[in-house]
Structure 1
């Protein structure tokens, strides 16, 4: 098991993926992505129109 972990570690290190992942997973980067997504959602909400659907007739059943 340890050999497999070492193989994966070496592979990620050779490909430079460790540094890329550290950059991707840092808290500030995640916060910035979340803020960008929140702005997109707010714009979508502004574009949506709220329409009123008339309800049923308000007759009384006898």
Structure 2
């Protein structure tokens, strides 16, 4: 239940972030937004994946 609640909260954050970035881009279409918005999404993805403890399928440490 706790993981489900985290996923719902993170989903709402990502949707709000996407809506805010679209509104921000409409109001201020500067060139810097092309670099700031993807950086915010990459940062949010890294925080979410660290918090949910997603295991990556590619492991380089234990190879046969």
Provide TM-score, normalisation by structure 2.
0.35
Greater relative contact order (CA < 8 Å, ≥ 6 in sequence) = 2
* Rg (Cα) greater in structure: 1
